[in-house]
Amino acid sequence: MTEGEMLLKGYGVTTAEMFYRMPDYINVLNSFVWQDYDRAPDHERLFEFVEYWQREIEGPLHSVRFTHRKLIAPGEWRHVTGEFPLH
């Protein structure tokens, strides 16, 4: 699927910041930023990545903070009752 098709099907940009600990330095928190197109509220791709991290990467996750922004949304319509002429 192209990016345009994904946006028209309801996908938006999800950005996640993962805080994790290195196995050798357990008292130090590091951060990793991940970004991809995903659909709210399920966030399938984000959860797949978190599962991959827990399964394949040695640094245990401390926490994950994420945000989602839909890039294409329905247009806003409002009724205007006045007119302002310009000279």
Q: How far is CA 62 from the centre of its chain?
A: 18
Confidence (pTM): 0.75
Q: Has residue 83 been placed in a domain?
A: no
Average confidence (pLDDT) over 14-33: 93
User: What is the arithmetic mean of pLDDT over 25-50?
Assistant: 93
The stretch 6-19 carries a mean pLDDT of 90
Domain that holds residue 56: 3-69
CA–CA separation, 53 and 61 (whole Å): 8
Residue with tokens 């951060």: 31
> How many domains are contained in the chain?
1
Average pLDDT value over all residues in the chain: 86
% of the chain surpassing 90 pLDDT: 57
